């Protein structure tokens, strides 16, 4: 106590001060550009599916088309198609946004139904060339992404085999 000041409950340590939280694991590796672009693509398709779903709900409830597309005023084929697509597209949007595999399956069901509506039965549902073309474009881009991922995986596996003794 010769000139030294005592501080009641303050602990003294010879170790340097360390911050309270230190990373105990390595940071995650950066995602490749193809994965980021695929995620953006899937989210854009999800937004468009949600928009399709909203359009069908607006039609069935009489909010759009001046009330002429209301469920009770539609013929039977439009009732079936409109009701199914009003459910399928929002569910597909959720699955695509989350990146779940069932999201793409639901999108294929909805896109297939719309393509059949406008290309197989145009005398019932009317002719619409834009929707089937857009669905075809989305399917083509999706397949190109899958092929790119497959080729990348194959190249990585081949590289791993070459490096082995």
pLDDT digits (tens, 9 = 90+) for 98-126: 999 999 999 999 999 999 999 999 999 99
Domain residue spans of the chain: 33-158
The residue count of the chain comes to 165
Q: Are 34 and 145 in contact (CB under 8 A)?
A: yes
Mean pLDDT over each residue of the chain, to the nearest integer: 87
Lowest mean pLDDT among 2-11, 90-99, 127-136: 2-11
Alpha helix segments (H runs only) across 18-75: 33-61
Q: Is the pLDDT of residue 66 over 80?
A: yes
Above 80 in pLDDT, residue 72? yes
pLDDT band of residue 155 (cuts 50, 70, 90) is confident
- Given a cut of 70, whether residue 13 has pLDDT beyond it is no
pLDDT above 60: residue 9: no
- pLDDT of 24 over the 70 cut: no
DSSP 130-148: HHHHHHHHHHHHHHHHHHH
pTM: 0.77
The residues, any chain, with a CB within 8 Å of residue 50's CB and separated by 6 or more, are 89, 90, 93
- Selection from 120, 122, 57 nearest residue 88 by Cα: 57
Answer yes or no: is pLDDT of 12 > 70.
Answer: no
Q: Which pLDDT score is estimated for 32?
A: 85
Better pLDDT: 66 or 113:
113
pLDDT of residue 99: 93
């Amino acid at each position: 106590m010769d000139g030294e000041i005592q501080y009641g409950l303050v602990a003294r340590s010879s170790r340097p001060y360390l911050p309270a939280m230190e990373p105990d694991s390595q940071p995650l590796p950066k995602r490749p550009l193809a994965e980021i672009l695929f995620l953006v693509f899937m989210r854009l398709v999800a937004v468009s599916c949600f928009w399709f779903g909203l359009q069908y709900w607006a039609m069935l409830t009489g909010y759009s088309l001046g009330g002429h597309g209301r469920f009770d005023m539609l013929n039977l084929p439009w009732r079936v198609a409109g009701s199914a697509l009003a459910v399928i597209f929002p569910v597909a949007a959720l699955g695509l946004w989350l990146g779940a595999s069932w999201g793409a399956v639901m999108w294929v069901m909805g896109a297939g139904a719309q393509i059949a509506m406008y290309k197989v039965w145009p005398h019932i549902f009317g002719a619409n060339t834009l929707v089937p073309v857009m669905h075809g474009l989305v399917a083509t881009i999706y397949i190109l992404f899958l092929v790119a991922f497959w080729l990348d995986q194959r190249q990585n596996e081949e590289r791993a085999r070459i490096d082995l003794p």
